[in-house]
Structure formats: C-alpha cells, structure tokens
Amino acid sequence: MAIKPAYVKKTGTLLMERYPDAFGADFEHNKDVVEELTNIESKGVELWSRRTSVMY
C-alpha cells in the first residue's frame, strides 16, 4: 500500500485543529499523542502519520 501524503497531511491538520494544546516541542510526546488520538491500522501509514503530523 502506498502512503498517500494528502491523507497524512489532512490527518495531521485535523489533529492540530482539534487538539491544539495536546502537542508541543517534544517529539516522543507528540508520537504518543498521535497514537492515542488515531486509529491507524497500516504500520507504514502509522509511522508516516506520526512523523508528519507532529511537524505542523
């Protein structure tokens, strides 16, 4: 399965809009927050989503 950048970006944007105070400068904390707030089943998409969504 190819990882769709638009899907990842949209997911990251939605997380930041809905939970703006949940994210900070700590990458490890942000990864945990993404894991708690999402239900992503594909390992590749999950890892990509974690990396991308914490950057916004």
Quote the Cα angle for 38-10-18, to 5°: 60
Collect contacts of 10-15 with beta carbons under 8 A, ≥24 apart: 11/38, 11/40, 11/49, 11/53, 12/49, 12/52, 12/53, 12/54, 12/55, 12/56, 13/56, 15/53
The per-residue pLDDT for 9 is 87
Give 3's pLDDT tier (boundaries 50, 70, 90). low
Answer with the residue of higher pLDDT: 15 or 52. Answer: 15
pLDDT in tens, 12-46: 899 999 999 999 999 999 889 988 988 876 555 55
Global pTM reads: 0.61
